[in-house]
Chains A and B, each alone.
Chain A
Amino acid sequence: MASVRTENLKKIFKKGKSEVHAVDGITLTIPDGQAFGVLGPSGHGKTTFLRLVAGLEVPTDGYIYFDDDLVSAPGRIVVEPEHRGIAMVFQLWALYPNMTVYDNIAFPLRNAGVPKSEVDKRVREIAEELGLTRVLNHYPREISGGQMQRTALARALVKNPRVLLLDEPFSNLDAAIRDGARALVRRIQRERKLTTIIVSHDPADIFSIAEVAGVIINGKLVQVAPPTEIYDSPANETVARLGGDINVIEVKASDGIIYISNSVKLPSPIPKLEGKFRLGIRPEDLVLSDSAEAPGMTLVGRVKVKVSSYVAGIFRTLVSPIDDDSIEILVNTNGYVEPGSEKNLLVRLPKVKVFSEKGESLTLPPRS
């Protein structure tokens, strides 16, 4: 096991005459044994960051250390990927199509010169743990997506890596088996206290596995915090959207009251708020009700239901303030709500986020 530390890490790709700053000055320490998640939109440098750590990319600038050993320096790979003691699960799993599952898992051990009997013992152990024993003699094309993913994981784990790198490891799995795969990775990571970096655009991957997450936007690290904190107190609007569905509404505030419309308003979480802002409220922090009260909730005004639908296990209802049809707010509801009906809208005040017009959060808790 090892800690991973990067200092002002940069990677610039030249495309013709223009430069792309894929990774732009990332300084980060991942302690030994931690599961670290990297969250970010597609094409914003997450995978490049992971490839830099793996040694598959040469940094344009900056340093990478495994424990106290320098592994990458500006323009130079100090320790080649094959000597870093890392293991990686690729997005497309990168199984060797010409080898059986057994040979795929045994490949890193054989390369390391592990004796034959020991190879056999370790391959069978990890196959048993990951439920691959029955498919050991099959080729990758003959097994299911879930089995392929577990084979890739087995191949990564069998050599007891110092650092485990996961690049979107669940994005090619069927939705139905993703949670099982996440639970498996989480259990193995926690049991072995394996330093792990998981990269994903899907917050569910990060929330289920990472103890600490970093958000990379435009090559820059914009927030490092436990996943729940990133969800509840995002540093800016983009991070808030990455974390999950959120209503972002342009609002005016005066005298400590935030006006969504003239009649729909709520007390500001920040005292003496004046001017134009952007209000962020997640659909699950809103309630539609006929009564004006609910535990922990505050009434904000009357709304009219536009449409109600069932999406991915929950009812979603779109409402507008009765006096302003142009504003649309998404609310999670317990069931179908008749369009055209009028309801009271209630909000869980402590969860309300206020962003500046540029999208920076004004409701961040003080960092310890």
Chain B
Amino acid sequence: MASYRARLAKYVILQLAGAIVIVFWLIPLYAMLIDGFKTNFEATVTSVFQPPVRPTLSAYIAVWNSMKRPLINSLIVVVPVTLLSGILGTMGAYFFYVLGEKHPIVGNTGFSVISLATFLPVESAFLPLYLFEYSSHMVNTYWGLMFAYLLFYIPTAALLMSIFMPVVPRYLIEAARIDEADHWTIFWKVVFPLIVPGFLSTLIFVFVMSWNNFFLPLILTTTPSMRMVPVEERYFTGGYGTLYNETYAAAVLASIVPLAVFIVLGRYFIRGLAALGGGAKGV
């Protein structure tokens, strides 16, 4: 039994360490937030950590016009992609969960292939993907973008959901089979309601990943009207000079959607992760 002092010291050290990490991680966010409210001159000559003398919205107003369209484009592509990857990935995870029971070798092999697809860098599939989309006239279309995103994010979602799947005890699925339920019913009525927290975690993860994806929209869109947020943001660092205050403002606008998602649904994300630590019990 550690003494009260020793426990207090341990507690203080842990809290302090946590605080340092948090501050460290918040520094870029802080810089991004305050510098968007500076004039370009002030942003150039003052330190990035120094608050603006006279906060102004001019950078945001200037940026808003060019960011409007990309924000809409990103939402149009990313929201359906996230939902579809989430649902199809969960179905895939259920498939392998059930398959793995009777045919562990087939199940594990299939699962390894999926994992491989997840860990493959997007860039490695760039050429065949571009040629395929080009020949099927999918470049510069929402469909073309969604297709490419789904290729990469369905496996990611399936991989994540397979980690959550053991939350559903096998005997529940067996009970449902004995109760004459088909797989469609078992999935929607028994399995899905139990893995909603894991599903939400996966949604958040896929949403943030696909929102921030830079490479796919870079190669699959060429007309300015089809640009997505990460690509548009790049155009603020111009070839002749950089408008720092506008770059910061654009960065804030670009991160505001994933930030909002995380703030609203973040507790499910944390709960899902915590459940994984506890052997995925009681999600």
Q: Which residues of A contact B174 (CB under 8 A)?
A: 54, 56, 81, 88, 90, 94
Residue A107 lies at the interface, judged by CB distance under 8 Å to chain B: yes
Does A107 contact B178, Cβ atoms closer than 8 Å? no
Residue B194 lies at the interface, judged by CB distance under 8 Å to chain A: yes
Q: Which of A34-65 contact B (CB under 8 A)?
A: 54, 56, 58
Does B175 contact A81, Cβ atoms closer than 8 Å? no
Does A98 contact B175, Cβ atoms closer than 8 Å? no
Does A86 contact B194, Cβ atoms closer than 8 Å? no
Q: Which residues of B contact A176 (CB under 8 A)?
A: none
A92–B175 alpha-carbon span in the complex (Å): 11
Residue B172 lies at the interface, judged by CB distance under 8 Å to chain A: yes
Q: Which of B7-15, B179-187, B200-208, B218-226 contacts A (4 or more CB under 8 A)?
A: B179-187
Q: CB-CB contacts of B149-188 with A at 8 A, as 1s and 0s?
A: 0000000000000000000010110111111111001000
Give the Cβ gap from B199 to chain A, nearest Cβ, in Å.
Answer: 13
Contact of A86 among B169, B171, B178 (CB under 8 A): B178
Q: Which residues of B contact A90 (CB under 8 A)?
A: 171, 174-175
Give the Cβ gap from B105 to chain A, nearest Cβ, in Å.
Answer: 12
Q: Which residues of A contact B171 (CB under 8 A)?
A: 90, 92, 94
Question: Which size class do A's interface residues fall under?
Answer: 20 to 34
The answer to whether residues A111 and B194 also contact, given A81-B177, A94-B171 and a CB cut-off of 8 A, is: no
Give the Cβ gap from A62 to chain B, nearest Cβ, in Å.
Answer: 18
Q: Which residues of B contact A97 (CB under 8 A)?
A: 194
Does A111 contact B193, Cβ atoms closer than 8 Å? no
For B181, give the chain A residue with the smallest CB separation. A111
Residue B190 lies at the interface, judged by CB distance under 8 Å to chain A: yes
Q: Which residues of A contact B180 (CB under 8 A)?
A: 82-83, 108, 111-112, 159
Q: Which residues of B contact A96 (CB under 8 A)?
A: 172, 175-176, 189-190
Contact of A107 among B181, B182, B194 (CB under 8 A): B181
Q: Which residues of B contact A88 (CB under 8 A)?
A: 174-175, 178
Q: Which of A95-113 contact B (CB under 8 A)?
A: 96-99, 107-108, 111-112
Question: Which size class do B's interface residues fall under?
Answer: 10 to 19
Does A81 contact B172, Cβ atoms closer than 8 Å? no
Residue A155 lies at the interface, judged by CB distance under 8 Å to chain B: yes
The answer to whether residues A81 and B178 also contact, given A92-B171, A94-B171 and a CB cut-off of 8 A, is: yes
Residue A213 lies at the interface, judged by CB distance under 8 Å to chain B: no
A99–B192 alpha-carbon span in the complex (Å): 12
Residue A87 lies at the interface, judged by CB distance under 8 Å to chain B: yes
A155–B190 alpha-carbon span in the complex (Å): 15
Q: Which residues of A contact B193 (CB under 8 A)?
A: 98
Does B181 contact A82, Cβ atoms closer than 8 Å? yes
Q: Which residues of A contact B175 (CB under 8 A)?
A: 88, 90, 94, 96
A89–B173 alpha-carbon span in the complex (Å): 13
For A85, give the chain B residue with the smallest CB separation. B180
Give the Cβ gap from A11 to chain B, nearest Cβ, in Å.
Answer: 14
A82–B176 alpha-carbon span in the complex (Å): 9
A90–B170 alpha-carbon span in the complex (Å): 12
Does B194 contact A98, Cβ atoms closer than 8 Å? yes
A112–B171 alpha-carbon span in the complex (Å): 20
Q: Which residues of A contact B189 (CB under 8 A)?
A: 96, 99, 107
Q: CB-CB contacts of A258-280 with B at 8 A, as 1s and 0s?
A: 00000000000000000000000
Give the Cβ gap from B195 to chain A, nearest Cβ, in Å.
Answer: 10
A99–B193 alpha-carbon span in the complex (Å): 9
Q: Which residues of B contact A83 (CB under 8 A)?
A: 180
A298–B7 alpha-carbon span in the complex (Å): 68
For A94, give the chain B residue with the smallest CB separation. B175
A159–B180 alpha-carbon span in the complex (Å): 10
Give the Cβ gap from A316 to chain B, nearest Cβ, in Å.
Answer: 38
A97–B176 alpha-carbon span in the complex (Å): 12
Does A111 contact B178, Cβ atoms closer than 8 Å? no
Q: Which of B169, B180, B182, B194 has the most CB of A within 10 A?
A: B180
For B185, give the chain A residue with the smallest CB separation. A111
Does A155 contact B194, Cβ atoms closer than 8 Å? no
Q: Which of A15-37 contact B (CB under 8 A)?
A: none
For B193, give the chain A residue with the smallest CB separation. A98
A98–B172 alpha-carbon span in the complex (Å): 11
For B174, give the chain A residue with the smallest CB separation. A56
Give the Cβ gap from A145 to chain B, nearest Cβ, in Å.
Answer: 17
Q: Which residues of B contact A81 (CB under 8 A)?
A: 174, 177-178
Does A82 contact B177, Cβ atoms closer than 8 Å? yes
For B171, give the chain A residue with the smallest CB separation. A94
Q: Which of A292-348 contact B (CB under 8 A)?
A: none
For A155, give the chain B residue with the smallest CB separation. B179
Give the Cβ gap from A349 to chain B, nearest Cβ, in Å.
Answer: 48
A-B contact pairs, 16 of them (CB 8 A): A56-B174, A56-B177, A80-B177, A81-B177, A82-B180, A82-B181, A83-B180, A87-B178, A88-B178, A92-B169, A96-B172, A96-B189, A96-B190, A99-B189, A107-B189, A111-B182
- Listed from nearest, the 6 A-B pairs whose CB atoms lie closest are A94-B175, A98-B193, A108-B179, A111-B180, A82-B180, A111-B181
Binding site for A on B (CB under 8 A): 102, 169, 171-172, 174-182, 185, 189-190, 193-194
Extra contacts besides A82-B181, A83-B180 (13): CB < 8 Å = A82-B178, A86-B178, A88-B178, A90-B175, A92-B169, A94-B174, A94-B175, A98-B194, A107-B176, A107-B179, A111-B180, A112-B180, A159-B180
